[in-house]
Structure 1
Amino acid sequence: MKRSTNQEKFLDTLIRLNTKIEELGKINILNNHIYSEYFFRDLLNIVYGYSLENHNKKQKNAPAFDLIDNTNKIIIQVTATCKKQKIEDTLKKEYLTNKMEEGYRLKFIFIGNQNNNIKNKNFSNPHNILFDSKKDIILTQDLCEEFL
């Protein structure tokens, strides 16, 4: 009974967070985007066993990614823009070439409005960074399935 209640609370929290981010984003209130970086850093560390740190603490508004795990060689962009163009704009950033050479894998976690078809698209990846849309795009649904 308690597990079921915890699962329901978790799902409700993620859904409320997504809705809030989406609606506030429409009126250009973006402070929840920043808080989300810390929330998802901690959540992904627990759910996937990562050792993520907020890269924006070292480099304010860092280009291409927000979270970094130097142990598992993972970089993650936390974004509310769940569109192909957003992913391709990130993949073409020169800033990623050093991370590509060091063997880092790029992941995206989408907050706010979710596009469940995004994983099935093909993406231009000019720097050949490790990225597989089916595995490296994390949607709310993926987190819910992991939690269940």
Structure 2
Amino acid sequence: MQRKNYFDYVEEKLAILSIRVKNRGKLNILDVHMHSENFYRDFINLLYGWSLENANNRLQNIEAIDLIDDNVKLIVQVSATATKTKINNSLSKKSIEEYAKRGYTFKFVSIAENADQLRQQKYNNLYNIGFNPKKDIYDISSLEKDILNLKLQKLEEVYQFIKAELGNMPDCVRFNSDLTTIINILAEVKLDENEPLGNINMFEIDKKIEFNKLDIAASIIDDYKIFYNQVEKKYREFDKMGLNKSMLVLQSLKKMYIDALLKNKYDNSDLLFVGLIDEVKEIVINSSNYFDISKETLEACASLLVVDAFMRCKIFKNPEGYAYVIT
């Protein structure tokens, strides 16, 4: 489901940015804070259709004001610190008075901390500027709730923006992955459609496809099941690199399948099958040992592994008496 893919990507990148802002703030490294101000200016403008500008373009270091939109009369403070004291201090600044007289609304955006408790507080609004804590205090969670309700076309715009701004941002931790190693190995293989399949029982595989109601995904299985022997050979090579390597990869695929079932991540078997391929690709891309291979090659190799796991009884239910190998 594309909506889920877009939202999951945006949620992950905003979460990583939030963690980086918080951790760097503790070390008094504030470069990310500075860039986040402009990032959130453009992000919020896209999300809500505002025309916020950086207040520093008018006057350097205006107290309590980071962004201004004269069209809808908004002033916004973007902060990594989210406390009642912080907001009270901002509302008491002399710079607020002018905008209060002109009918502006004050909004507070927390970019590192949850602000649920702040929305329940009462504040000392010295100049009586427009400010309703319940709707004028934002945090990552409240922004994500609004993103979740966007129409698909708008959600895609947000996704493309986040991808452009944060897509190359390094993850907090990147691990070496055996799954990625076998993908890298398969990426170098010239697949031969004419290689004999030997003792593979295609009737049993077709029966399992029907049993699991894989109507659309059946075409993916048909495309890649013919390469079973070549995958088997590469697994044997892989096992020479370390004890139980292929078994651990197959078990990781099985766990992905079980997790998806337990969390009801997909609406039907076809979506589950394709979803597993996408999850394999995501793990590979985010692994420290990932080689830069083409999108098409990664798609094919991920499909090979998932189809192979399907044939080997690791994922999806087996019909009674299922045996993909003829003995």
Assess same fold via TM > 0.5: yes
Q: Decide whether the 8 Å contact of 2:62 with 2:95 is kept in 1.
A: no
Q: Decide whether the 8 Å contact of 1:64 with 1:93 is kept in 2.
A: yes
- Percentage of pairs with the same residue: 37
Shift of 1:50: 0.4
**In 1: Cα distance, 2:139 partner to 2:113 partner:** 10
Q: Decide whether the 8 Å contact of 2:115 with 2:137 is kept in 1.
A: no
Shift of 1:4: 1.1
Shift of 1:36: 0.9
- Asked whether 1:44 is paired with 2:47, we answer no
Unmatched 5+ residue regions in structure 1?
A: none
Paired position in structure 2 for 1:131: 131
Paired position in structure 2 for 1:81: 81
* AA matched with 1:115: A
Paired position in structure 2 for 1:19: 19
Q: Decide whether the 8 Å contact of 1:19 with 1:113 is kept in 2.
A: no
**In 1: Cα distance, 2:62 partner to 2:4 partner:** 39
**In 1: Cα distance, 2:115 partner to 2:47 partner:** 22
Q: Decide whether the 8 Å contact of 2:18 with 2:111 is kept in 1.
A: yes
**In 2: Cα distance, 1:109 partner to 1:115 partner:** 9
Report the more deviating stretch, 33-42 or 68-77. 33-42
Shift of 1:112: 1.2
Higher helix share: 2
State the Cα deviation string for residues 78-120 of structure 1 (Å, max 9, x = none): 0011000000000001111110010000000001122321100
Higher strand share: 1
Higher alpha-carbon Rg: 2
Report the more deviating stretch, 43-52 or 111-120. 111-120
* AA matched with 2:27: I
SS in 2 for 1:4: helix
* AA matched with 1:137: I
**In 2: Cα distance, 1:108 partner to 1:115 partner:** 10
Q: Decide whether the 8 Å contact of 1:64 with 1:77 is kept in 2.
A: yes
Paired position in structure 2 for 1:108: 108
**In 1: Cα distance, 2:60 partner to 2:132 partner:** 27
SS in 2 for 1:109: strand
Paired position in structure 1 for 2:8: 8
Q: Decide whether the 8 Å contact of 1:66 with 1:75 is kept in 2.
A: yes
**In 2: Cα distance, 1:114 partner to 1:123 partner:** 18
**In 1: Cα distance, 2:84 partner to 2:69 partner:** 24
**In 1: Cα distance, 2:115 partner to 2:138 partner:** 11
- Paired residues, what number? 148
SS in 2 for 1:134: helix
Q: Decide whether the 8 Å contact of 2:69 with 2:75 is kept in 1.
A: yes
Runs of 4+ with deviation above 4 angstroms = none
TM-score by length of 1: 0.97
TM-score by length of 2: 0.44
Paired position in structure 1 for 2:70: 70
Q: Decide whether the 8 Å contact of 2:113 with 2:139 is kept in 1.
A: no
